[in-house]
Amino acid sequence: MGIREDEKIAPHCEFIHVHDKVVKRVMDVMPEGEELQNLAEFFRVFGDSTRIRILYALSQSELCVCDIASLLGMGTVCDLPPASDPEADASCQVPQGRKERSLLSCGRSHPDDPRTGDGAYRRENMKFTKMQGIGNDYVYVNCFEETVEDPCGTAKMVSDRHFGIGSDGLILIKPSRVADCQMDMYNLDGSQGAMCGNVSAALPNIAYDYGIVNKKHISVATKSGIKYLDLTVKDGKVSLVKVNMGSPILTAKQIPVVSEKEEVINEPLVVDGETYYITAVSMGNPHAIVYMADIDHLDIEKIGPSFENHVAFPDRVNTEFVEVIDEHTLKMRVWERGSGETLACGTGACAVAVASILNGHVDGDKSVTVKLLGGDLQIFWNRQENLVYMTGPATTVFDGEIDVSFLK
């Protein structure tokens, strides 16, 4: 009896052989589920033909919203004046570097704008607090009271030091079911970060001073787990914060860093044709520590991105360039993934202290002073508990409000 056409067996392998080494190598560098989900969400943005047309139009020329509406045959949100009106060009002018704003408004109200209903352009202000810990500055938003619908876009906007508030990123303080509060961190490029020590040191100022918590020992849920903080309060204000940064991760796969060895301690890595010796540590985010004789004259803008995006680091990496001063003191500069060089990095300082103890550069029984561009941090690695403690200051720069309606 013959086999009908629709019953034929689909093409298949006659010999099954799984290339274990290849599969393992790919699995080791495969992004985690959350990262894949973020990528899927990102590329979903391009699933609309109108958005593609807008992006293509902007790639050809700088355009205001009125120009784009004309190209697409759509209405505008601004009531255009006659061409002879001397204010016309000014009202539709697009600020340099802010094309994304031109997609939403030329800055003029329209009586029929459905967003307002009352003939006036309505601002949507977001309250914030800017804080800094030895120069590592972030914009903090109290999400017990505020709602941030687009944290990635908001992070890029507020971090802009010319057209925004100016910061190393955005921090959202949210309610938590497992801790006193939750911290969501976004870098200045809009990517989500896992953990920042200086952010943890600054967060209690808002949480305590603004009544989110009313105790001196608090817990904060982060993407890297729950962190515990001890507050020193003076005159009703937090003056110093000791942060339990958790246990350092040294296993290569967990950091992650691609290596044949289980731990990467003083191992060679070729970057831009030059061999460096790195020690890899994770404090909830990956760090590569490199020791040098003179970091003051380092061209970090050139070498930093090469480390950050090196194939050895599947999730990119924060890189600390370290100069050993003595057995109790270290000096460092840091290139943070997604942010570039910053004045300070708390997790980086912790990773540097751990790496320096492992490499025998400092006394592991006492606190280590880590000197950063923005100031000093005290780091102590309790080897018995396998916990790293960071002590440092945090200061409120100013409170304010900013219009985020154009992000809608």
| Dist CA 259 CA 266 (whole Å) | 12
pLDDT of the residue at 48 = 67
pLDDT band at residue 223, thresholds of 50, 70 and 90? confident
Average pLDDT over every residue of 4-15: 51
Going along the chain from its start, the domains and CATH numbers come out as 48-122 (no CATH), 125-241+396-403 (3.10.310.10), 252-385 (3.10.310.10)
Instruction: List alpha helices for 61-171, DSSP H.
Output: 65-72, 87-91, 99-102, 151-159
φ and ψ at residue 178, rounded to 5 degrees? -115, -5
Higher-confidence position of 38 and 349: 349
Structure-token pair, residue 224: 């890297």
| Dist CA 220 CA 228 (whole Å) | 6
DSSP structural state of residue 30: P
Higher-confidence position of 138 and 291: 291
| Dist CA 77 CA 121 (whole Å) | 10
pLDDT band at residue 13, thresholds of 50, 70 and 90? low
pLDDT of the residue at 102 = 32
Instruction: List alpha helices for 160-318, DSSP H.
Output: 197-209, 300-308
Q: What's the pTM value of the predicted model, to 2 decimals? A: 0.59
pLDDT of the residue at 111 = 41
Q: Which residues are catalytic?
A: 196, 345
Average pLDDT over every residue of 274-293: 97
| Dist CA 88 CA 43 (whole Å) | 36
Average pLDDT over every residue of 36-40: 75
Structure-token pair, residue 364: 């592991």
Contacts of 397 (CB under 8 A, 6+ apart): 130, 131, 132, 137
pLDDT band at residue 113, thresholds of 50, 70 and 90? very low
Q: Identify any residues that bridge with 390 across adjacent strands, giving them in sequence order.
A: 243, 379
pLDDT band at residue 4, thresholds of 50, 70 and 90? low
pLDDT of the residue at 201 = 65
pLDDT of the residue at 394 = 77
pLDDT band at residue 136, thresholds of 50, 70 and 90? confident
pLDDT of the residue at 75 = 45
pLDDT band at residue 14, thresholds of 50, 70 and 90? low
C-alpha 113: how far from its chain's center?
Answer: 35
Quick check: 82 pLDDT over 50?
Answer: no
**pLDDT tens figures, 259-277:** 999 999 999 999 999 999 9
